[in-house]
Amino acid sequence: MKQRGEKNSMLTAYDYMGTIVDQAGVDVILVGDSASNVMCGNLTTLPITLDQMIFLAKSVVRGVNRALVVVDMPFGSYQGNSIEAIASAIRIMKKTHGDCLKLEGGEEILESVKRILSAGIPVIGRLGLMPQSINKYGSYTVRAKEDEEAQKLIRDAHILEDAGCVHYVADVKSGDFPSELEQY
């Protein structure tokens, strides 16, 4: 679609209601860890577990016939330990039949990303606003407003792309970063 210059759409679903999103023609359905907030009433995305994400993703996938289903890897399932990351990723894919996984971060999760990709599992890397880093940043705010952080975001985008990820940048303030970032 990108090569043809076509727009694509992406919405979040947490259960079998994903069938409605699919039937509406949405291209990508994200089973987001935001279910922690929306479905479970938590203040952050951090408490949601791998088992909960698997349950939700299985429910979404059952109702989808055409859209790409992306499953968030929850906090703690891939950061800092690439062996745990690949085990978590394989478990999600085998149990949910999702199409792809989404991880937050750049260089700091590269080893986990590479290990997951080496198993043939597609990965989307999320940069910019990263809810799983709430304790690091202290709030959900627009990222990359300062040049140093914008440059890191660009480096991380290239690192993830070079590793084989598809990536997207969430919630960065337009115009406050180098024009190179706009391609993401």
**Phi, psi dihedral angles at 171 (to 5 degrees):** 55, 60
Separation CA 170–CA 154 (nearest Å): 13
- 150-161 per-position pLDDT tens digit: 899 999 999 999
Model confidence band, residue 168 (pLDDT cutoffs 50, 70, 90) = low
What span, in angstroms and rounded, lies between the C-alpha atoms of 9 and 180? 23
Q: Which amino acid is at 78?
A: Y
Q: What is the spatial distance between Cα 29 and Cα 12, in angstroms, rounded to a whole number?
A: 5
Q: Tell me the domains of the chain and their CATH numbers.
A: 10-183 (3.20.20.60)
Asked if residues 3 and 19 have their Cβ atoms less than 8 Å apart, the reply is: no
SS (H, E, C) 85-135: HHHHHHHHHHHHCCCEEEEECCHHHHHHHHHHHHCCCCEEEEEECCHHHHH
Q: Give the pLDDT confidence of 6-34 residue by residue, as tens digits.
A: 888 999 999 999 999 999 999 999 999 99
